[in-house]
Amino acid sequence: MTGHMLIFGMGYTASRLAERLRTAGWRVTGTRRMSGEGAVAFDDRYAVLDALESATHILSSVPPLAEGVDPVLASYGAEIAGSRAQWSGYLSSTGVYGDTGGAWVDESASIGQGRRTARAEADLAWQGVRPDMHVFRLPGIYGPGRSALDRVREGKAHRIALPDQIFSRIHADDIVGAVMASFAGAPGVYNIADDLPASQNAVIEYACDLLGLPWPVLQTLDEAQLSPMALGFYAENRRISNGKAKRLLGWAPTYSDYKQGLSALLAAPV
């Protein structure tokens, strides 16, 4: 199957999806703040509406603004709702679940209780836009040029003295695989995560071992002097269940845990 995919927001993951689709013979139109690199400007209404007219698939990877407004829905929500596309999707975040104290969480859990209230509102809004909507809730994303290997090489990796802190993560290419699997799958909300939630320390330690470098010294949060964004990352603790996507989409992660993913990244040609 091929078609015309319109992607709002050609960021890291969406660009990898576009590359995979184009290789498979799809036409892909993306938006950026400014036109170029095979994309149209988000504010070029004529170009965006022209793409919407012929799009068979529509995906937004654009997060809400700090004030809570979803820019895609604010600018093109009515046109997306009325589009003749046969599939639609939105890349959300598992941050909508808030802190679960390390417990497993699936798509039936309530959302909007954590620090990502704007994201939770956008998540709910996108669910109501179209009957064919697929919402993908994503944990920490890693991949080529954006992984623990890179942070270790750059001297930016930390080990934090929070022994019970657990996170889920997903390789960017496994997100691509899940999106493509959903083209023939039921609409709905899906957690897309690997099979092995783990502490950030374990990931950093494994990356160091792969590179033959010493582990960073174990620090407290105060000693690490992390950015507000990084501190927010450590403020929540949860394990993400991916069972629904496996059952209903027939998807499974190629990189079922961080060890497989990081080992493959290290072995990949530059």
- Output the CA–CA distances (angstroms, integers) from residue 19 to 22, 119, 138, 174, 185, in the order listed: 5, 26, 20, 14, 21
What pTM does this model have? 0.95
**Number of Cβ atoms within 10 Å of the Cβ of 164:** 8
**27-32 vs 4-8, strand pairing mode:** parallel
The per-residue pLDDT for 127 is 97
Residues contacting 228, CB < 8 A, separation 6+: none
Q: Which two tokens stand for residue 157?
A: 């990796």
pLDDT at 36 (0 to 100): 67
The predicted pLDDT at position 270 comes to: 60
Residues 6+ away with beta carbon under 8 Å from 194: 168, 169, 170, 171, 174, 242, 253, 255, 256, 257, 258, 261
Query: How many angstroms separate the first and last alpha carbons of the chain?
Result: 31
- Residues 81, 85: Cα–Cα separation, whole Å: 9
- Per cent of the chain over pLDDT 70 is 98
Q: What pLDDT, on a 0 to 100 scale, did the predictor assign at position 1?
A: 79
User: Across the chain, what does the average pLDDT equal?
Assistant: 94
Angle at 158 between CA 145 and CA 258, to 5 degrees: 50
Is 70 exceeded by the pLDDT of residue 26? yes
pLDDT tens digit string along 186-198? 999 999 999 999 9
| Residue 56 confidence (pLDDT) above 70 | yes
Residue range 69-91, pLDDT digits in tens: 999 999 999 999 999 999 999 99
Q: Among residues of the chain, what percentage have pLDDT more than 90?
A: 83
Closest CA to 122 of 132, 131, 106, 133: 133
Cα–Cα dist 102/198, whole Å: 10
The model's confidence at residue 67, banded by pLDDT at 50, 70 and 90, is confident
Candidate from 29-38, 46-55, 80-89, 242-251 with smallest mean pLDDT: 29-38
Is pLDDT at 116 greater than 80 in this prediction?
A: no
Instruction: Supply the pLDDT for residue 227.
Output: 84
For the chain, what is the radius of gyration of the CA atoms?
A: 19
Q: What is the mean pLDDT of residues 117-126?
A: 94
Helix (H) or strand (E) holding 142: strand 140-142
* Residue matched to tokens 């139109």: 29
Burial zone of 194 (CB within 10 Å; 0-12 exposed, 13-18 middle, 19+ buried): buried
The pLDDT of residue 114 is 66
Digit-coded pLDDT (tens) for 140-184 = 999 999 999 999 999 999 999 988 899 999 999 999 999 999 999
pLDDT-derived band at 253, boundaries 50, 70, 90: very high
Which residue would you say has higher pLDDT here, 62 or 232?
Answer: 62
